[in-house]
Amino acid sequence: MMIADREGDPTLSVEKILRKALWHDFEETIVSDIPHPIKHRFQGGRLGKLLAEMVETVLETEAFHELPEDMARRYAADAKDSKREREGEVVGAADAMDLVIVATREIKMGNRYFEHVFEAGMVLCEKYRHFRLVDEFCRVARKYLETGQFVDGVFHENLSRQTDLFSPGSTSE
């Protein structure tokens, strides 16, 4: 939603974005959350492709089987279409940014494996730099990882204080 708000584009449907965001990782309730780099890193992304096939079948046949048929069809279609259209791109962009934020937190706690995850997240974010907020995020993410701080001025002109992304309200002189 923040990405859409930052765009200021009245053709982006916030309701559609929120619906897509609710469904975008629904398959994780079935197959669990497997990080993007794991799904797509080994054997040419074979695991990711296999999961995509499985999830589609599960969504169509099992996930909503206890609901009335019309609702089951609609929700299965919504879940499968969650990253399609421009609103789905916004959801994908938010997901990519989230991956970078999670990786940053892990790296700061000493988990060096997440250095690779951070880089994979940055590559994903690059696909969405046409969104203003994602572009701004990409410009500060690496700096934040290195210094622990980012300049608010990237998001708000004429502000020079620095804040810690993971400690709301904390400031550094």
- In a structure prediction context, what are the per-residue pLDDT tens digits for the chain, which is 173 residues long? 889 989 989 999 998 899 888 887 777 776 667 766 677 676 777 887 887 778 778 877 877 888 899 998 888 888 888 888 899 999 999 999 999 999 998 998 899 988 988 998 999 999 999 999 999 999 888 888 877 765 554 444 433 444 444 444 444 44
- Asked whether the beta carbons of 22 and 113 are under 8 A apart, the reply is no
The 8-class DSSP code of residue 154 comes to G
pLDDT at 57: 81
| Residue at 67 is within a domain | no
pLDDT at 150: 55
Domain enclosing residue 118, as ranges = 86-153
The 8-class DSSP code of residue 15 comes to H
Domain total in the chain: 1
pLDDT at 17: 92
| Residue at 113 is within a domain | yes
In angstroms, rounded to a whole number, what is the distance separating the alpha carbons of residues 90 and 155?
18
| Residue at 50 is within a domain | no
Q: 10 Å Cβ neighbour count for 149?
A: 17
Q: In terms of DSSP H, where are the helices of the chain? A: 2-7, 14-23, 28-31, 36-41, 46-61, 69-80, 85-108, 114-126, 132-147
Q: 10 Å Cβ neighbour count for 96?
A: 23
pLDDT at 152: 53
| Residue at 8 is within a domain | no
Phi-psi region of 135 (alpha: psi -120 to 50; beta: other; left: phi over 0): alpha
Written as one letter, the residue type at 47 is L
Does the predicted TM-score (pTM) go above 0.75?
no
| Residue at 112 is within a domain | yes
| Residue at 106 is within a domain | yes
Instruction: Please tell me whether residue 172 adopts helix, strand or coil conformation.
Output: strand
| Residue at 137 is within a domain | yes
